[in-house]
């Protein structure tokens, strides 16, 4: 049995990635055509075409995947490995979810369905930003989550099926994983841009973030990558597939944990304008954030890795973070400076996007950065409050923010010292940081609101 690449699939995936990058530029493209005098209806058609093209291209892949299983086309490697010539219809449907390649494929299907439904029912602030977040998510899904062997073909094919019991057991786990994580990740781009004026927004974002963290701790991630069933410590980082696990976990952290961060940061900026020493607060937030990114990663890796290896890997990991931080921090130069602390928002967006892009860079230490990532995000909210001087920044607010900052750092250090398993420490640190941020948020002035 000889396994070969599928040329059609490679072409579709390549065009899908191109469509995602084009979607990132949807707004400038539309503005260009508007400047050329195009009528609104034509520009609207361009907008819809760019928005739905990645979905249509995936539909081609999914229909091909579905028909191969329904028709028992054993030239598809996934069919040959999970079915046989007399498999019934139910087994053919079960096999769609079998194995981590099947579970990942169906995960992407659920992400698409959730995204399409959310477009219709969730009120968001900026549709173009949702398109950009989805474009990033889809690039991650195609290049970092979907296994390469999902669409491989077989020459001189023959069935080599797993047992029926194993097929059903694997399919049940894959079904649960694809729906749980698919819904969470699919909601992510919309949660990022949720209309914060709605009374239920904060409650939804809080529950969404907590469910996301608990799903990392208790959810069946091993259905998407077998490595997740083991302890996530430094010994695991020698496995090549750790980059895929890191991508999935970082994506869950990004789209479940970050929306509540955005809510708290915007609430802070709307209640308390930037005060004296704003630049010092910005610089301290960035420098300490980078320090904790590095120190937590080095501490975790140092017992097993050489200093030279850690240094080399950190250079490649931190580059995407610093690159995107620079890009987003320069947005005020373009006039996008209506927020009180726009450069800090740029720093956060650099942290958001950079960590995930680092995972796609096939680095082996992506998971080791996430403890420091949580601390860096937390400090980006508290240090400006502690350092800046303003009539609205009372001593009580400063003291509470100082205490919560110290507590969350101490908590993560303690967790990392007592438990080397990131499977435990990451979601626990995320959950505790959410509660600490809520304590800080409760101290903000109730009546004051910037226009």
Give residue 448's pLDDT: 52
For residue 414, give the DSSP letter.
H
Give residue 56's pLDDT: 95
Query: Is 371 within 8 Å of 349 (Cβ atoms)?
Result: no
Average pLDDT over all residues of the chain: 87
* β-bridge mates for residue 388, sequence order: none
Name the phi and psi angles at 276, rounded to 5: -65, 145
This model's pTM is above 0.85: yes
R_g of the chain computed on alpha carbons = 23
Place of tokens 């140092």: 302
Report the distance separating Cα 231 and Cα 209, nearest Å. Answer: 23
Mean pLDDT computed over 139-168: 79
CA 46 to chain centre: 27
The residue ranges of every structural domain in the chain are: 2-192, 205-442
Query: Is 368 within 8 Å of 300 (Cβ atoms)?
Result: yes
Q: Under DSSP, is residue 84 helix (H, G, I), strand (E, B) or coil? A: coil
The pLDDT tens digits for 261-302 are 999 998 888 888 877 888 888 889 989 999 998 898 888 888
**pLDDT bucket at 158, cuts 50 / 70 / 90:** low
Mean pLDDT computed over 436-444: 91
Query: Is 41 within 8 Å of 152 (Cβ atoms)?
Result: no
**pLDDT bucket at 323, cuts 50 / 70 / 90:** confident
b/e burial code for range 326-339 (CB count within 10 A of at least 16 → b) = eebbebbeeeeeeb
- In order, the DSSP letters of 228-269 are GGS--SGGGGGSTTHHHHHHHHHHHIIIIIHHHHHHHHHHHH
**pLDDT bucket at 17, cuts 50 / 70 / 90:** very high
How far apart are the two ends of the chain, measured CA to CA in Å? 67
Report the distance separating Cα 129 and Cα 51, nearest Å. Answer: 12
Query: Is 262 within 8 Å of 188 (Cβ atoms)?
Result: no
Query: Is 350 within 8 Å of 233 (Cβ atoms)?
Result: no
Report the distance separating Cα 369 and Cα 356, nearest Å. Answer: 11
Give residue 248's pLDDT: 93
CA 382 to chain centre: 23
Query: Is 303 within 8 Å of 420 (Cβ atoms)?
Result: no
Sequence length of the chain is 451
The pLDDT tens digits for 168-187 are 888 899 999 999 999 999 99
The pLDDT tens digits for 31-79 are 888 888 888 888 999 999 999 999 999 999 999 999 988 988 888 888 8
Q: Of the candidates 242, 362, 351, 363, which has an alpha carbon nearest to the alpha carbon of residue 310?
A: 363
Give residue 196's pLDDT: 78
**pLDDT bucket at 388, cuts 50 / 70 / 90:** confident
Give residue 185's pLDDT: 96
Q: Under DSSP, is residue 76 helix (H, G, I), strand (E, B) or coil? A: strand
∠ CA 300-305-310, rounded to 5°: 80
**Taking 50 as the threshold, does the pLDDT of residue 450 lie above it?**
no
Query: Is 273 within 8 Å of 340 (Cβ atoms)?
Result: yes
Q: Under DSSP, is residue 155 helix (H, G, I), strand (E, B) or coil? A: strand
The pLDDT tens digits for 219-256 are 999 999 988 888 888 888 878 788 889 899 999 999 99
């Amino acid at each position: 049995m000889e396994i070969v690449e599928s040329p059609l699939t490679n072409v579709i995936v390549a065009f899908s990635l191109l469509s995602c990058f084009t979607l990132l530029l949807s707004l400038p493209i539309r503005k260009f055509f508007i400047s050329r005098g195009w009528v609104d209806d034509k520009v609207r058609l361009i907008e819809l075409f760019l928005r739905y093209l990645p979905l249509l291209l995936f539909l081609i892949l999914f229909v091909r995947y579905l028909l191969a299983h329904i028709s028992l086309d054993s030239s598809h490697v996934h069919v040959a490995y999970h079915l046989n010539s007399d498999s019934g219809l139910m087994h053919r449907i079960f096999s769609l979810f079998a194995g981590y390649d099947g579970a990942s494929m169906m995960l992407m299907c659920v992400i698409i369905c959730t995204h399409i439904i959310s477009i219709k029912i969730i009120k968001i602030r900026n549709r173009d930003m949702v398109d950009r977040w989805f474009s990033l998510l889809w690039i991650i899904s195609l290049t970092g989550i979907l296994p390469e062997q999902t669409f491989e073909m077989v020459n001189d094919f023959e069935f080599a099926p797993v047992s029926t019991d194993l097929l059903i057991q694997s399919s049940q786990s894959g079904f649960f994983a694809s729906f749980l994580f698919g819904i969470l990740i699919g909601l992510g781009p919309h949660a990022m841009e949720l209309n914060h004026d709605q009374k239920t927004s904060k409650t939804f974002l809080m529950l969404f973030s907590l469910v996301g963290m608990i799903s990392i701790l208790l959810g069946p991630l091993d259905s998407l990558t077998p490595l997740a069933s083991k302890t996530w410590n430094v010994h695991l980082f020698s496995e090549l597939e750790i980059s895929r696990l890191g991508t999935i976990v970082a994506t869950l952290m990004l789209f479940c944990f970050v929306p509540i961060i955005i809510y708290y940061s915007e609430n802070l900026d709307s209640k308390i304008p930037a005060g004296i020493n704003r630049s010092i607060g910005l610089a301290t937030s960035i420098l300490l954030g980078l320090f904790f990114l590095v120190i937590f990663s080095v501490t975790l890796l140092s017992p097993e890795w050489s200093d030279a290896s850690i240094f080399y890997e950190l250079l490649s990991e931190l580059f995407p973070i610093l690159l995107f931080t620079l890009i987003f921090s320069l947005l005020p130069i373009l006039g996008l400076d209506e927020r009180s602390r726009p450069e800090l928002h740029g720093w956060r967006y650099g942290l958001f996007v950079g960590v995930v892009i680092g995972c796609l860079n096939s680095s082996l230490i992506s998971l080791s950065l996430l403890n420091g990532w949580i601390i860096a995000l937390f400090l980006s909210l508290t240090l400006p409050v502690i350092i800046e001087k303003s009539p609205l920044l009372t001593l009580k607010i400063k003291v509470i923010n100082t205490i919560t900052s110290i507590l969350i750092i101490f908590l993560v250090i303690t967790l990392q010292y007592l438990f080397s398993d990131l499977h435990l420490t990451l979601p626990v640190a995320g959950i505790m940081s959410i509660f600490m941020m809520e304590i800080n948020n409760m101290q903000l002035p109730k009546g004051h609101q910037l226009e």
